[in-house]
Structure 1
Amino acid sequence: MSELETVLAEAVTAASGWDRAGLPRTAALGLARATVLGSDRAEQYGGRGSDAHELGLVASELGAVCTSLRSLFTVQGMVAATVDRWGTAAQRSTWLPAFTSGELIAGLAATEAAAGSDLSGIEARFTGSTELALSGRKLWITFGAMADVLLVAGRSADGPVAALVPTDQPGVVVEPVVDQLGMRGTRLAHVTFDRARVPAENVLARPGFGVSHVLGTALDHGRYTIAWGCVGMARACLTDAAAHARDRVQGGAALGEHQAVRAMLGRSWVEVESARALCVRAAGQRVARDPAALLGTIAAKYAAAAAAGAVSERAVQILGAAGCAPDSRAGRFFRDAKIMQIIEGAREVAEQDIGEFVLRTAGAGR
């Protein structure tokens, strides 16, 4: 059994408990031992140079078992990808090995009360020059309750800034969030900064790149792995629903003998396969460095999140009381799937982006 198979097998048993108590820090070390934590980073930084196809398949496998575990894989990868793309050689050498080894847990602090999918309303502020001071409040930070460092987006006198901010210091107050609808194992937190210290060497790129470029890299990476994770979620729910429909006998007939149930399974299969096809397409675009990859990733995440929502809902319906049980995978994914339609770009924002593309390219294929 490979290290990844071991991690997945352990997660199958532990996922329900993680959903109640939160993902333990040791989960990051397990992913690191399986060489999948930051696997798309170069070998010199502890990665294995995985391409987009390999990265997507890992996200799908993790997503089929535990959304919170896949989220750790996603967020750690988002911050690592951003440092890799926009960091200096010294920053890459300092931070990337710590991220891929699980030595440091990273989080992305972008959302604020007035800044969600549209980050233009960010109000957190960096002041100073030789050493910066950060003040502001960030909301809904995935793994914010256990992150060692946060990639924070804020404003400065010179324009938007993105910087790596250590959390173990005065001026950083972490407020864990519990009992949210979904992603309950992801150790969510709100974080308030009150003149928290930020060394100048922790700033990524030059001021002005903080939102449009630096965070753009993080969000694009996040959407991509979320898309594949949602395919895994939807596939797992379809598997559970189909097995129950085949084996559950009521009134002398298997549940799957009912036309309505077969139709639900059929719709679900089409949605899973369609979402997966868009993910494979996005992977190919990313490998080819196709400029259309950005839109392709948005479309894949939109379709996969929708599939996860629809298929998990049908799975709970088919499973009945079993789908509502505390340890039901389908029930857990039903809650998680709604969150997937909101984070890293709400579905309504994705529809606008895709619609703009359609208008811009109308008639191009004639």
Structure 2
Amino acid sequence: MHEEKEDPSGVQQRARHFAETDIAKRASEFDRKEHLPKDVITKMADAGFLGAAVPEKWGGLGLDPLEYGELTESIGKACASTRALLTVHTSLVAETLVERASNRLKEKYLTDLALGRRIGCFALSEAGAGSDAASVTTVYRREQDVFILDGRKKWISFAGVADLFLVFAKENDLTSAFLVERNTPGVEIRPMSGMLGNRAAHMAEISFTGVEVPVENLVSGIGLGFGLVANTALHHGRYSIAWAGVAIAQAALETMCAYAAEREQFGVKIGSQQLVQKMIADAVTQVGAARELCRRAGRLRMERSTDAVIETNIAKYFSSTIAQQVTSDAVQVLGGNGCWDQYPAERLFREAKVLEIIEGTSQLQQLMIADHGFKKFAGSGSGWGK
């Protein structure tokens, strides 16, 4: 437990040092081997990063949303798979338990999660339930003092190494959330490989066959799994992914600038070419705008504003979109080297695409943002054109 809150600037300095010395130079190795080494996870735990957004009361660093966002950017700029551990373990699981779990569950699991003594993962997606998360087919039933779970989850990041799963299952039309320990009989893990991005995030399928879960491991209550628990988790997850987009775009911007300043073609540095300068100018503008949207969402989260959810969606949508554009331009600036895994541009390009899919696709974000726009602005221009 942390007796006195560390100065946030000290946390950020440690995060940047960790990113630069422990993961940036190894990111391509993690990607190639599809494995995030245990020593990296241990160092993150020892540094307190896995409990960065968890209150000090439960063993965390107690960072506010803006501080946590900055930390996420620092880690994500160095390695997307390492940042994914923050998104999954800290945002989707730990932050959700802070808000939605009983004190009994917090005492049982939250401090261990904050200190990295247990790794958590978020088990919502299935082969037939991605964006349509409410259509999960994993089921549960109550038998005396336990719930019995049966079903299969897919695309679950860090399921390969997690000790604790936040699992969503249905009984009739009621979706509920449960905390399931890895060593529970009937739990089986099947690692997945060959992913486009986040290759080192230990993605796996999880099958549940007659898995007995103690009644006390029900999170929030019967029927509250999707509308309350999952939505809370996805709100935290989207905020983390919004900063992930900034991180990847920033890394791509730095890559293309450094390359363009050195690479010569036709007797001049390619950075002197106006069309290359346009790509760099657009990237500088887009990254700055995305970061400010994330900061706006963070401030609203700190204020507990009702606008925090939609502004987080806007930030996630914009940052993931510009990350794809900036990384594409980085590949273009690097040319043939941009298509080669000896340079970071191709990996950043792959990682950026993933952000447009996870925690709600860009198309879903567009629908939600458009709906918000209609509700907020449609009446304002009702007289125009008449």
TM-score range normalised by the length of the shorter chain: over 0.9
Is 2:64 the counterpart of 1:51?
yes
Match of 1:271 in 2: 286
The residue identity in structure 2 corresponding to 1:10 is D
Gap change, CA 1:6 and 1:275, over 3 Å in 2: closer
For residues 38 and 360 of structure 2, what CA distance do their matches in structure 1 show?
A: 27
Match of 2:140 in 1: 126
Shift of 1:128: 2.0
Match of 1:248 in 2: 263
Other structure's SS at 2:130 match: coil
Shift of 1:170: 2.5
Shift of 1:253: 0.5
Contact 2:15 2:75 in 1 (8 A): no
The residue identity in structure 1 corresponding to 2:358 is I
Match of 1:20 in 2: 32
For residues 212 and 25 of structure 1, what CA distance do their matches in structure 2 show?
A: 35
Other structure's SS at 1:229 match: helix
Report the more deviating stretch, 27-36 or 43-52. 27-36
Shift of 1:365: 6.6
Residues 298-335 of structure 1 deviation map (CA, whole Å, 9 limit, x = unaligned): 00000000111110111011012222222422211110
* CA RMSD after TM alignment: 1.5
Runs of 4+ with >3 A deviation? 363-366
Contact 1:7 1:34 in 2 (8 A): no
Contact 1:4 1:31 in 2 (8 A): no
For residues 342 and 207 of structure 2, what CA distance do their matches in structure 1 show?
A: 34
Gap change, CA 1:31 and 1:294, over 3 Å in 2: same
The residue identity in structure 2 corresponding to 1:14 is R
- 1:160 pairs, out of 156, 164, 175, with 175
Shift of 1:157: 5.4
Contact 1:3 1:33 in 2 (8 A): no
Which consecutive residues of structure 2, in runs of 5 or more, have no partner in the other structure?
1-9, 382-386
Is 2:85 the counterpart of 1:72?
yes
Is 2:194 the counterpart of 1:183?
no
Match of 1:94 in 2: 108
Identity within the alignment, % = 34
For residues 157 and 301 of structure 1, what CA distance do their matches in structure 2 show?
A: 33
Other structure's SS at 1:155 match: strand
- 1:85 pairs, out of 96, 99, 122, with 99
Residues 43-73 of structure 1 deviation map (CA, whole Å, 9 limit, x = unaligned): 1211121111001001111110100000001
The residue identity in structure 1 corresponding to 2:370 is G
For residues 307 and 163 of structure 1, what CA distance do their matches in structure 2 show?
A: 36
Shift of 1:232: 1.0
For residues 298 and 331 of structure 2, what CA distance do their matches in structure 1 show?
A: 30
Gap change, CA 1:5 and 1:266, over 3 Å in 2: closer
Shift of 1:185: 0.7
Contact 1:117 1:345 in 2 (8 A): yes
Gap change, CA 1:28 and 1:132, over 3 Å in 2: same
- 1:304 pairs, out of 309, 313, 319, with 319
Is 2:242 the counterpart of 1:231?
no
For residues 343 and 315 of structure 2, what CA distance do their matches in structure 1 show?
A: 26
The residue identity in structure 1 corresponding to 2:257 is A
Which consecutive residues of structure 1, in runs of 5 or more, have no partner in the other structure?
none
For residues 269 and 95 of structure 2, what CA distance do their matches in structure 1 show?
A: 49
Is 2:306 the counterpart of 1:291?
yes
Match of 2:373 in 1: 358
For residues 97 and 7 of structure 1, what CA distance do their matches in structure 2 show?
A: 23
Other structure's SS at 1:328 match: coil
Contact 1:174 1:189 in 2 (8 A): yes
Match of 2:214 in 1: 199
For residues 152 and 127 of structure 2, what CA distance do their matches in structure 1 show?
A: 8
Contact 1:149 1:166 in 2 (8 A): yes
The residue identity in structure 2 corresponding to 1:4 is A
Contact 2:96 2:233 in 1 (8 A): yes
Q: TM-score, normalised by structure 1?
A: 0.96
Q: TM-score, normalised by structure 2?
A: 0.91
For residues 30 and 45 of structure 1, what CA distance do their matches in structure 2 show?
A: 19
Shift of 1:364: 6.5
Shift of 1:220: 0.7
Contact 1:159 1:208 in 2 (8 A): yes
The residue identity in structure 2 corresponding to 1:197 is E
For residues 343 and 113 of structure 2, what CA distance do their matches in structure 1 show?
A: 32
For residues 5 and 352 of structure 1, what CA distance do their matches in structure 2 show?
A: 36
Contact 2:51 2:116 in 1 (8 A): no
For residues 106 and 280 of structure 2, what CA distance do their matches in structure 1 show?
A: 47
Match of 1:136 in 2: 151
The residue identity in structure 2 corresponding to 1:17 is E
Contact 1:298 1:350 in 2 (8 A): yes
Shift of 1:363: 5.2
